[in-house]
Chain A
């Protein structure tokens, strides 16, 4: 195996999974919901993009936008079902987790029922050119994936830093009770957060479909990767998620070169467990109880 090929692959994958991890992280820290329906949102967005490619246009931007929008829509649906009815009820954390699991079960089976188990593939949204870097060919989808995901995440982070809504979301992340006392609507912020993180999942779905196919259960592995990265980086921290994505991406590259592809998950979990044993709240997590709500 070519080392350069593996490293570029690792960078591309860690960009995509990092996007997912940041989405999971933001959801947890601002609305207190562990969104295990993220895999469903991912698959739903993939199918949304596929519909757009079938019936609207095969233009890359259209497909990408359709994926992001359908992801945001699925995020809003999950918010309306799993966050709005129970966010002020006792034991919300556990019940929210189980509710998202139920939505995931319903949603993926619904997709399976509607589209059938056959996987779909999307058109190349970045074209088919390539750049030679030394003796290494960087294809369009790799460069496109990295650039698009970094640009989207950067845009979201900038928006969260500079806008009024972003300020509300950050206030919710810091102290949800105080935020609601000073007049920040918990429900409306929940919708914003879930729409944005759903859009992130949609973006990741379209980008990942350049490499893999879209299938009803295809969102599970990316979700677990995203959850692992978010967990490792510290739930609620964007920087932590970035660091963890880089670490786990390189772990993946090194393991596949030295040990072989099937040991990637094993080394990854050994690494995550080791990190969590040292820092139980993740790399950038705060050590005391992070979010009690």
Chain B
């Protein structure tokens, strides 16, 4: 490490000049700058993973889009783009839900032929129950999700229509194909009655009131003789399932009828939620009604409209329920039915059609498949519901966006820990400072000090001790220049206690009229020694900063 600095003034007979001085190798002053500006983020060879499959473009087909009647919508929401690397035409299916729906529905259609023979009747019955509950949930989802009315009286409407139609069918012999329509009429009346408080109440007040109404229906039906308080329900209504068919045909017909009902409910959901009225209501969510009203949206009318339409649909389902089960039992009004319904909605995720259907599938599966477990199966359902409510924001189908939001949060947290704090000023301080130049000056100063710290070495100190004044090596010269350029308040001076005999170091105050203060008791014998003393202090200050 024998690196020497050659004094260029040596040949000129300068006083006390030495031919060469040992010194550290040269370090370019660019170094700290490059280091500060360098990105310390770990770079991986591959960028973001491609989460979407990119379909190849179809050339001329790009402009030939299929749309389905009566809307101008395309079958799938496809985004066309150019690959930035290869510049080839690519297509991304933005919304894959239609594909999932088609797959799920076609599975439901062919499911009866895939079932094992022994369980076919049981499974078809469970499937029919699932489809009916899914239909009720879809309509309920319109009330809670689209209209934002927290009504818990859904099963009360279904039950009222069911009991009404069952009574009519038993006592007046109304045929089965009329029952859903009579049910719709009952649902309309019932819906109008319970819509009256919805105009004034909101949120929980309405939820609690409808819970009470549900209980009212239960107690009333339980106590009244005409609704069969002795038999646990009204049975013996006309049904669409003919007695002459064999068992397999009966359950098959029932299954497909219920499936049709569910598809009808899906169509209703699509045409209410996905059309103008759904848009209007999405603009007026809870607690932001005032804004919607100010922009001219009549959200109250839209809410009541959705509510009444859903009540009619629920009445229709009630009539169908009677025609399907040959009657209704009181259990439709029970609190547990409401709880299971809420569990279905919550598990799937409020506000989505797929949530209503998937939630119904999960709950009905647990309820019917684990029948041997007794109350434990309901405890399991409750536990799932509790877990979903505590940990998920939008049910099972909200996991994906929630996970993405969480991942992005974590990403930005990590990014902020990686970020280099270049400035010597805190952000608050920086905004308060009038002189913005100061921010950059401090940042530059920090880089400079970082660089100069690396130049301090025993060789440099030894060189300065030998000759404090005169020509120095590059490293020492840089240090001295930095020290000399500092503001007065950072500087030291020497005073002669006795000329050529005793010197002391003082610190300048930097203020006019304020005398320098003595910093140490040490007395230096010569001026050179005092110079070196000051240099050592400044070096110490630099290394401590």
**Residues of B within 8 A of A (CB-CB), count:** 42
- In the complex, the answer to whether B383 meets A93 with C-beta atoms within 8 Å is no
- Verify B205–A262 contact, CB threshold 8 A: no
Partner of B335, one of A90, A94, A220, A281: A220
Q: Does B37 contact A (CB under 8 A)?
A: no
Report whether A99 and B390 are in contact in the complex, using a CB–CB cutoff of 8 Å: yes
Q: Does A258 contact B (CB under 8 A)?
A: no
Q: Assuming A109-B379, A227-B208, is B201 touching A280 (CB within 8 A)?
A: yes
Q: Is A292 an interface residue (CB 8 A)?
A: yes
Establish whether residues A90 and B212, one from each chain, have CB atoms under 8 Å apart when the complex forms.
Answer: no
In the assembled complex, B493 has its CB within 8 A of some CB on chain A:
no
The verdict on A112 contacting chain B, using a C-beta distance below 8 Å, is yes
A272 near B204: Cβ-Cβ < 8 Å: no
Q: Does the CB pair B386–A81 fall under 8 Å?
A: yes
- The chain A residue sitting closest to B219, CB to CB, is A265
Q: Which residues of A contact B (CB under 8 A)?
A: 28, 34, 36, 39, 81, 85-86, 90-91, 93-95, 97-99, 101-106, 109-110, 112-113, 217, 220-221, 224, 227-228, 231, 235, 261-262, 265-266, 269, 272-273, 276-277, 280-281, 292
Least CB distance, B461 to chain A, in whole angstroms: 57
Residues of B within 8 A of A109 (CB): 375-376, 378-379, 382
Cβ-defined contact, A276 with B343, below 8 A: no
Please report the C-alpha to C-alpha distance between residue A149 and residue B239 in the assembled complex, in whole angstroms: 53
- 5 smallest CB-CB distances across A and B, nearest first, come from A106-B382, A105-B382, A102-B386, A102-B385, A113-B375
Q: How many angstroms from the CA of A183 to the CA of B80 in the assembled complex?
A: 56
Name the residue of chain A whose CB is nearest to the CB of B335: A220
Task: Output the least CB separation between B292 and chain A (Å).
Answer: 16
What is the CA–CA distance of A86 and B336 in the complex, to the nearest angstrom?
24
B71 at the interface (CB under 8 A from A): no
A110 and B378 CA atoms in complex are apart in Å by: 9
Please indicate which of the listed interface residues B207, B220, B340, B389 has the most CB atoms of chain A within 10 Å of its own CB.
B389
User: B196 contacts the other chain (Cβ, under 8 Å)?
Assistant: yes
B339 touches A110 (CB 8 A): no
Closest to A234 in B: B205
**Complex CA distance for A90 and B200, rounded to whole angstroms:** 25
A273 to B26, CA, bound (A): 90
CB of B471, distance to nearest CB on chain A (Å): 67
Contacts of A86 in B (CB 8 A): 389-390
Question: How far is it, in angstroms, between the C-alpha of A101 and the C-alpha of B204 when the chains are bound?
Answer: 13
Question: Nearest Cβ distance between residue A253 and chain B, in whole angstroms?
Answer: 18
Cβ contact within 8 Å between B216 and A227:
no
Q: Report the bound CA distance from A86 to B211 in whole Å.
A: 24
Are A227 and B385 CB-contacts (below 8 A) given A217-B335, A262-B220? no
In the complex, which residue of chain B has the Cβ closest to the Cβ of A290? B205
Is B305 interfacial (CB 8 A cutoff)?
no
Residues of chain B lying within 8 A (CB to CB) of residue A292: 287
Q: Which residues of B lie under 8 Å from residue A269 when comparing CB positions?
A: 209, 212-213, 216
Q: CA A80 – CA B374 in complex, angstroms?
A: 27
Knowing A34-B204, A106-B379, A231-B208, the reply to whether A266 touches B216 (Cβ < 8 A) is yes
Q: Are A276 and B209 in contact (CB under 8 A)?
A: yes
Decide yes or no whether B459 CB sits under 8 A from chain A: no
Judged by a CB distance under 8 angstroms, whether B197 is at the interface is: yes
Some 10 contacts from A to B, beta carbons below 8 A apart, are A85-B390, A86-B390, A95-B389, A109-B382, A112-B375, A113-B375, A113-B379, A224-B211, A231-B205, A265-B215
Residues of A contacting B211 with CB < 8 Å? 36, 224, 227
For A91, the chain B residues whose CB sits under 8 A away are 393
Contact B215 A231 (CB under 8 A): no
Contact call A262/B378, Cβ cutoff below 8 A:
no
In the assembled complex, the CB of B349 is this many whole angstroms from the nearest CB of chain A, namely 12
B393 contacts A227, C-beta separation under 8 Å? no
Interface centre among A34, A102, A113 (most CB of B within 10 A): A102
Max chain A C-beta neighbours (<10 A), residue from B197, B224, B336, B390: B390
Q: Would you list which residues of chain B between 219 and 272 have a CB under 8 Å from chain A?
A: 219-220, 223-224
Q: Which residues of B contact A227 (CB under 8 A)?
A: 208, 211-212
Q: Given A93, A97, A280, which contacts B200 in the complex, CB threshold below 8 Å?
A: A280
B382: chain A residues at CB < 8 Å are: 102-103, 105-106, 109
The closest CB in chain A to the CB of B194 belongs to A273
Contact B386 A266 (CB under 8 A): no
Contact B374–A277 (Cβ < 8 Å): no
**Is A98 touching B342 in the complex (CB atoms < 8 A)?**
yes
Q: Does B274 contact A (CB under 8 A)?
A: no
**Given known A106-B383, A224-B215, A292-B287, contact A231–B209 (CB-CB < 8 A):** yes
From known contacts A99-B389, A103-B382, A109-B378, infer whether A273 and B216 are also in contact, taking CB-CB under 8 Å.
no
Closest to A224 in B: B215
B220 close to A266 (CB less than 8 A): yes
- Across the interface, which residues of A come within 8 angstroms of B201, CB to CB? 276, 280
The distance from the CB of B280 to the nearest CB of chain A, in whole angstroms, is 22
| B346 touches A (CB below 8 Å) | yes
Shortest Cβ distance from residue B153 to the other chain A in the assembled complex, whole angstroms: 11
Residue of A nearest to B377 (CB): A109
Please state if A276 and B335 are interface contacts (CB–CB under 8 Å).
no
Q: Is B381's CB within 8 Å of the partner chain A?
A: yes
The minimal Cβ–Cβ distance linking A1 to chain B, given in whole angstroms, is 16
Instruction: Report chain A residues within 8 Å CB of B213.
Output: 269
CB-nearest residue of chain B relative to A217?
B335
Q: Which residue of chain A has the shortest Cβ distance to B383 in the bound complex?
A: A106
Q: Which of B205, B287, B336 contacts A280 (CB 8 A)?
A: B205
* B175 CB-CB contact with A under 8 Å: no
B203 in the interface (beta carbon within 8 A): yes
Expressed in whole angstroms, the Cα–Cα distance for A14 and B23 within the complex equals: 98
Is the Cβ of A273 less than 8 Å from the Cβ of B219? no
Q: Which single residue of chain B is at the shortest CB-CB distance from A269?
A: B216
A224 touches B212 (CB 8 A): yes
Which residues of chain B have C-beta atoms less than 8 A from A228's C-beta? 208-209, 212
